[in-house]
Structure formats: C-alpha cells, structure tokens
C-alpha cells in the first residue's frame, strides 16, 4: 500500500453534518504536505475506519488520463504531447522507481511505451487509496486547475482519492459498465462537499480495539505506527477474512523504536487473535544483519523476505526453542548490493535474536540471515507465551502447535531501507 513518510498535517476537508468526514489519504503536490490515513478531525474524534481500494491496472483493466504536458518516456525519445488521451495497461516497480506502460496516439497510430510515473503523477498508482462515494454530479477536468471538461462523476459512483494540488484534487473515477478508471481532476471544494467516505463495516479488529491497544502501548495517533495499525483492517481485511477467527501476526517495518541503519529494531510486531490485539512490540526486524553479504549465510545468496501474506507453523528453531516457520516464503536474494533476484526459501523462521546488537562483521554468527526477529532478546518470551506455544516463563521447545497467517508490510520503510543500503530497484522488488 502506499504511503511514504508523514511530513506534516495540512488543514483537512471541511465538515458537513450530512456527510461522513473524508479521510485525507493524499499528498498536496504543491506544498509537499501529507496526512497519512487520517485528517485532523478524525484524530480528534476517533472517527470510523474507512475502506481503501486499488486501481488494479492490467492488460484487461486500464486507466485513462490526459497528458498534462510534453513528457518523455524512459527510452529518452518517445514522448506524450499535451492533451494526448492515454491508457495505462501495466505498472511495475514502486515508489520513485514506479513505471507505467502508456498507450498514446501518434501520427502513425497508437504506440505503447514505458514512462516514469513521477513525471506525470505525484503518488504511486500501485498503492491503495481511500474510496469516496459521490453524493451528486461532479464535473471532472482533464488537468490541474480545471482544464477541459472530462465527463462527470455520477451520484453513488465509488472513486479513489489520490492527492490534492492547490484547489484541485486528483481522483480515479469509474468508467460506466467496465472495470476501468479515468484519472481526472475535480475542484477541491467539490471533493470537500460532494463526497463521503465509506466506513469499514467488517474488520479483523474494531476501531476501539485499535485505539485501546495504541493507548496501552504508547502509540500516538499522529504516528506512522498508528497508521500501520489502521492497515490491519483497511489493507488486509479482505486478504485475511477467512482467518478472522484465527491468529494473524503483522510485522510492519519502518515504524519501530530504532530507525538507525546500524540497528535492527525498526519493525512493529502485532498479534491479532480472534479480533483482539494481544501483543505489540516495536523492537523487531524483517531484514538480515548483513543484507548483501552471502558470507554471513554460509556463502549462499542472502535472502530478504518479500512483503506479503504467508502462512506460519510452529517449529523449534535449530531444534532448540519454540519459533515459527514462514510457509512458501518468497524472497529477494542478494549476491551483493547491486546484484539481486527473486527466489524462494524454506528456512525463514520467526525467532529470538542472539544479541540486541547486530553481530560484529568478523563474527561467525548473525541474529538473522533472512529470518524475522521479535523484540529484544529478553522480550521474546512474551511473544511465544502470548501465542500459547510454550508454558512458563522460559524460552523452551514448543508445547502446543499453532498455525495462522503472518503479514510482512514495509509501507513505511522506504527511507529506512535506503539508509540500510537497499537500492530503489531492490526496494521495489522486495515490496512488489
């Protein structure tokens, strides 16, 4: 899902008593300001959670837009002219590395070429955005600042809100009778007054459960850690609904207690068990001690577990103590910082660290050669006790088998991963 870093909070949408407050999950491309997930009114009122959606761009589901200017493709020679009517049929990469495959008109007929998304749109098209429902007819325009009219949004149309720019807002509106969307601009006043958010009616956890957990664990509502808790419902409910009454473990990288590139305690682990948040720890990690050094993995290319939803089962790590194994793990393996590829791995475990510090470069051991680390060394017992796989207060072999789902999410980790040394392309592959 989206989101990079919360930079600051801008004044949110106006309040109208007849409409739900609209969550501003959008950047302002003029001021470079953003609110990540909640506007200021929601922070004050603990408002309901809201549904999110994606464009799902594919060869059978395209997105229309009008070129805002002369924009060159990645090959350096092909270009869009201002006003060209275009279709996006593929997206690859993420963040600043995201590229879009655009079909556009030329004098010799239509052609398709790759373009850097950030030359045209401010935020990634592969991310998730809040759904908003039109409460009446709304005029759409081709470009920022009300260019040529570009059709209308109809009452009850479900759109996606991407970002604001000055007094305009970029939305994705559905094309009637298809699975396709049109990226268009509307007046920001219309966004404020003629749309309402769509409340989440189903979730893995309730709004009050999230707020109570945030309070118990000292997580402020204006933080990325709190926004990550919101993803449990908005991003993962559909994917995990079949396991709603089971155990779901979340590892959110980038929202931990220590963002130093020399530490591995920048992930937050959350256990959701039958609708209750039973455990949160922000001293976790989803990346290896030495991500680019195969020597630290018995000379095998070093794996980083990819973002996604996986199964887990109970195991004894190295036949010594209770841990979890990630099923059907998809990884990116690194020969070095600049050479990497997609792969799989069977031995990705969720376990205790040997030390609260990264292993010395000269050592024969590491805390992680691709495994997931939970808490500080002394905190691990709380994790396995909460899961119910051991008895007592000692880290022992498991007594009870458990299984469920585990989510790896690095929505908020781009800057941290870059500081650790991952390239933009590597981050895109890990999150893809």
Decide if 19 is inside a domain.
no
Q: What's the pLDDT at 129? A: 84
Decide if 11 is inside a domain.
no
Q: What's the pLDDT at 158? A: 92
* Residue 149 exposure: Cα atoms within 13 Å on the Cβ side: 5
User: Torsion angle, CA of 127/128/134/138, rounded to 10 degrees?
Assistant: -10
Mean pLDDT on 228-237:
91
Residues 164, 30: Cα–Cα separation, whole Å: 8
Residues 244, 275: Cα–Cα separation, whole Å: 7
Q: What's the pLDDT at 25? A: 41
184 shares its domain with 305: no
301 shares its domain with 410: yes
168 shares its domain with 237: no
Q: What's the pLDDT at 50? A: 74
Decide if 376 is inside a domain.
yes
Q: pLDDT per residue over 321-370, tens digit each? A: 999 999 999 999 999 999 999 999 999 999 999 999 999 999 889 999 99
Q: What's the pLDDT at 311? A: 98
Q: Which residue has the higher pLDDT, 139 or 162?
A: 139
Q: pLDDT per residue over 46-93, tens digit each? A: 345 677 788 888 878 899 999 999 999 999 999 999 999 999 999 998
Residues 312, 310: Cα–Cα separation, whole Å: 7
Instruction: Answer yes or no: is pLDDT of 198 > 50.
Output: yes
260 Rama sector, left if φ>0, alpha if ψ -120 to 50, beta otherwise: beta
153 shares its domain with 211: no
227 shares its domain with 337: yes
Decide if 15 is inside a domain.
no
Decide if 4 is inside a domain.
no
With a CB cutoff of 8 Å and minimum separation 6, the contacts of 242 are none
Q: Which domain holds residue 329?
A: 207-431
Mean pLDDT on 399-412:
96
Q: What's the pLDDT at 49? A: 67
299 pLDDT band, cuts 50/70/90, is: very high
Q: What's the pLDDT at 422? A: 97
Pick from 150, 176, 197: which residue ends a domain?
A: 197
320 shares its domain with 376: yes
Percent of the chain at pLDDT > 90 equals 70
pTM of the model: 0.66
Q: What's the pLDDT at 385? A: 96
Pair of tokens at residue 15:
């309040």
């Amino acid at each position: 899902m989206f989101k990079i870093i919360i930079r600051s909070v801008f004044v949110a949408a106006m309040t109208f008593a007849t409409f739900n407050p609209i969550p501003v999950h959008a950047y302002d491309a003029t001021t470079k300001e953003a609110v990540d997930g909640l506007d200021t009114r929601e922070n004050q009122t603990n408002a309901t959670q809201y549904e999110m959606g994606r464009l799902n761009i594919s060869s059978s589901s395209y997105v229309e837009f009008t070129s805002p200017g002369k924009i060159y493709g990645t090959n350096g020679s092909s270009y869009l002219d201002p006003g060209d009517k275009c279709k996006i049929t593929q997206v690859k990469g993420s963040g600043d590395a995201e590229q879009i495959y655009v079909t556009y008109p030329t004098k010799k007929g239509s052609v398709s070429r790759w373009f850097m998304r950030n030359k045209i749109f401010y935020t990634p098209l592969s991310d998730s955005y809040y759904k908003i429902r039109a409460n009446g007819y709304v005029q759409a325009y081709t470009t920022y600042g009300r260019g040529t009219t570009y059709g209308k949004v109809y009452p009850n149309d479900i759109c996606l809100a991407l970002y604001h720019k000055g007094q305009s807002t970029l939305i994705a509106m559905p094309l009637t009778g298809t699975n396709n969307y049109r990226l268009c601009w509307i007046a920001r006043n219309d966004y404020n007054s003629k749309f309402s958010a769509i409340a989440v009616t189903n979730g893995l956890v309730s709004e009050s459960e999230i707020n109570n957990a945030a309070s118990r664990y000292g997580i402020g509502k204006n933080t990325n850690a709190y926004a990550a808790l919101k993803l449990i419902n908005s991003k993962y409910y559909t994917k995990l609904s079949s396991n709603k009454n089971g155990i779901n473990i979340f590892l959110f990288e980038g929202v931990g207690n220590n963002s130093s590139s020399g530490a591995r305690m920048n992930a937050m682990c959350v256990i959701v068990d039958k609708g209750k948040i039973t455990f949160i720890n922000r001293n976790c990690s989803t990346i290896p001690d030495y991500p680019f050094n195969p020597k630290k993995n018995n000379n095998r290319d070093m794996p980083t577990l990819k973002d996604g939803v996986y199964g887990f089962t109970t195991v004894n790590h190295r036949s010594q103590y209770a841990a979890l194994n990630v099923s059907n793990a998809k990884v990116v393996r690194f020969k070095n910082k600049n050479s990497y590829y997609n792969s799989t791995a069977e031995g990705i475990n969720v376990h205790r660290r040997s030390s609260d510090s990264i292993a010395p470069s000269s050592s024969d051991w590491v805390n992680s050669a691709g495994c997931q680390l939970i808490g500080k060394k002394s905190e691990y017992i709380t994790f396995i006790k909460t899961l119910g796989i051991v008895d007592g207060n000692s880290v022992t072999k498991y007594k009870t088998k458990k299984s469920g789902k585990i989510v790896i999410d690095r929505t908020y980790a781009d800057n941290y991963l870059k500081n650790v040394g991952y390239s933009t392309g590597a981050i895109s592959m890990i999150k893809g």
